């Protein structure tokens, strides 16, 4: 069903003024970055590395159930920290201003099967440029799901709840696949191109490195605890994958989040780009610990507005951004994690079925924004 444009009450002048106000928020944070922020990320990295080392040490004795439980839990948290609050945000360039070669988007590599360089292209350059634009944003539906009523339904969409569950369990591999744009490159002519073959080889090398580390070296070091350490590592990766998938789905897919047609971004201004980020994202409410474990992607709206600002500043930025939503009479989509997860999965199930009602005829402007 085509929805009425929730931004239709805004004039072009108001949209550009909104853009200027958001620019001012960004400039204020950039001007105030300093040692406190640098100390934060260095401390997080230190804690993560100590937690991972300690957890792997405990898993040397994973033959004993208490050691398995404690080691698996610790390794799960360490892997989530590595991917969410550390890797994702460093690779966004959030900490490049420190000019620390060890904590820089050009040198960082993460505990993930997708090579950092490929992820930066598909995520930073494509996803954040074309947020929720159908046919341009590979993160929208991960290339395997129908995400809007106006998308043509095919029988294969009946299986998208299953595809989404499998993608959640092996999310890092799913990310590597759509970083490669595997779907459109499977054709023989495309997959034989030198550029694609080089990128596929890089993914293969990264997968081998991750598998060797997680499923060969560390289990072997455990000696008689080989199998239990193997199971613990698999479990930690599974937990990390499901958690990161859930957080990202909640930020892009709940009811109330908008998707966009390609033609709606033609000639897009700075203010209009900001507005699309605001309407195409959702937040997760919760405690400081929950925000930390999401890599502060629980502030997804603020992250999409300012992807290069330090993640530890999103909470303070959110107060000002929410005030702008209220000022311009826009809906700030947010809710606790269980609510957002339910909303996102409900949409996955709902859009797996063909439309039961005929499309509503709408004006050309209304068609620019399509209800997600």
Q: What is the pLDDT of residues 208-258, one digit of tens each?
A: 999 999 999 999 999 999 999 999 999 999 999 999 999 999 998 898 898
- 3: pLDDT confidence band, cut at 50, 70 and 90? low
pLDDT in the model for residue 188: 61
Least confident of 64-73, 93-102, 345-354: 345-354
Domain membership of residue 370 (yes or no) is no
**Position 150 pLDDT exceeds 80:** no
Q: How far is CA 146 from CA 90, 142, 333, 347, in A?
A: 31, 9, 21, 10
The chain-wide mean pLDDT, for the chain, equals 90
The secondary structure of residue 347, as a DSSP letter, is: H
Q: What percent of the chain has pLDDT over 70?
A: 92
Bridge partners of 369, per DSSP, are 260
Phi and psi angles of residue 280, each rounded to the nearest 5 degrees, phi first: -100, 15
Domain membership of residue 372 (yes or no) is no
How confident is the model over 76-91, as pLDDT tens digits? 999 999 999 999 999 9
**Position 172 pLDDT exceeds 50:** yes
How confident is the model over 258-295, as pLDDT tens digits? 888 888 888 999 999 999 999 999 999 999 999 999 99
Domain membership of residue 233 (yes or no) is yes
Q: What is the spatial distance between Cα 227 and Cα 239, in angstroms, rounded to a whole number?
A: 18
DSSP-assigned states of every residue in 29-77: HHHH--HHHHHHHHHHHHHHHHHHHHHHHHGGGTTSHHHHHHHHHHHHH
pLDDT in the model for residue 111: 96
More confident residue, 228 or 197: 228
pLDDT in the model for residue 79: 98
Domain membership of residue 293 (yes or no) is yes
Evaluate whether 276 touches 7 at the Cβ level (below 8 Å).
no
**Position 40 pLDDT exceeds 70:** yes
Read off the pTM. Answer: 0.90
Domain that holds residue 25: 12-352
Q: Which position has the token pair 């106000």?
A: 21
**Position 196 pLDDT exceeds 90:** no
Q: What is the spatial distance between Cα 349 and Cα 311, in angstroms, rounded to a whole number?
A: 32
Evaluate whether 242 touches 354 at the Cβ level (below 8 Å).
no
Evaluate whether 149 touches 371 at the Cβ level (below 8 Å).
yes
Q: How many domains does the chain have?
A: 1
Residues 6+ apart with CB under 8 A from 299: 283, 291, 314, 315, 317, 318
Domain membership of residue 83 (yes or no) is yes
Q: Which position has the token pair 């490929």?
A: 118
Best CA proximity match to 115, nearest among 197, 199, 213, 211: 199
**Position 41 pLDDT exceeds 60:** yes
**Position 303 pLDDT exceeds 60:** yes
pLDDT in the model for residue 192: 74
pLDDT in the model for residue 370: 43
How confident is the model over 122-140, as pLDDT tens digits? 899 888 998 988 878 777 7
Domain membership of residue 150 (yes or no) is yes
More confident residue, 259 or 30: 30
Q: Averaged over 14-22, what is the pLDDT?
A: 97
Task: Compute how many other C-beta atoms are within 10 angstroms of the C-beta atom of residue 106.
Answer: 11
pLDDT in the model for residue 148: 81
Residues 6+ apart with CB under 8 A from 22: 274, 305, 321, 324
Q: Averaged over 196-213, what is the pLDDT?
A: 93
Helix-helix angle 171-179:226-252, to 10 degrees: 60
Domain membership of residue 7 (yes or no) is no
pLDDT in the model for residue 193: 82
pLDDT in the model for residue 361: 38
pLDDT in the model for residue 371: 41
Domain membership of residue 365 (yes or no) is no
């Amino acid at each position: 069903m085509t929805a009425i444009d929730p931004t239709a009450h805004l004039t072009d002048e108001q949209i550009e003024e909104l853009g200027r106000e958001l620019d001012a928020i960004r400039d204020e944070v950039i001007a105030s970055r300093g040692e406190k922020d640098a100390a934060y990320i260095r401390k997080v990295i230190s804690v993560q590395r100590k937690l991972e080392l300690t957890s792997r040490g405990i898993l040397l004795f994973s033959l004993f159930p208490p050691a398995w439980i404690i080691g698996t839990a610790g390794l799960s948290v360490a892997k989530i920290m590595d991917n969410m609050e550390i890797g994702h945000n460093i690779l966004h360039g959030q900490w490049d201003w420190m000019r620390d070669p060890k904590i820089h988007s050009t040198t960082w590599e993460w505990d993930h099967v997708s090579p950092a360089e490929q992820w930066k292209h598909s995520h930073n350059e494509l996803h954040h440029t074309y947020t929720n634009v159908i046919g341009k944003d590979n993160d929208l539906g991960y290339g395997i799901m129908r995400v809007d009523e106006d998308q043509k339904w095919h029988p294969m969409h009946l299986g998208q709840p299953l595809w989404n569950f499998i993608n959640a369990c092996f999310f890092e591999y799913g990310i590597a696949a759509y970083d490669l744009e595997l779907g459109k490159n499977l054709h023989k002519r495309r997959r034989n191109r030198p550029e694609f073959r080089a990128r596929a080889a890089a993914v293969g090398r990264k997968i081998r490195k991750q598998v060797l580390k997680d499923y060969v070296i560390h289990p072997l070091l455990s000696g008689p605890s080989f199998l239990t350490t193997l199971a613990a590592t698999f479990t930690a990766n599974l937990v990390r994958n499901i958690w990161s998938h859930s957080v990202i789905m909640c930020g892009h897919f709940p009811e109330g989040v908008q998707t966009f047609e390609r033609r709606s971004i033609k000639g897009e201004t700075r203010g209009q780009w900001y507005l699309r980020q605001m309407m195409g994202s959702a937040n997760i409410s919760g405690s400081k610990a929950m925000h930390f474990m999401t890599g502060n992607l629980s502030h997804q709206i603020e992250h999409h507005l300012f992807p290069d600002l330090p993640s530890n500043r999103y909470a303070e930025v959110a107060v000002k951004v929410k005030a702008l939503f209220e000022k311009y009479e826009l809906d700030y989509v947010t809710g606790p994690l269980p609510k957002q997860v339910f909303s996102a999965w409900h949409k996955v199930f709902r859009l797996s079925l063909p439309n039961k009602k005929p499309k509503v005829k709408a004006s050309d402007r209304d068609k620019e924004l399509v209800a997600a």
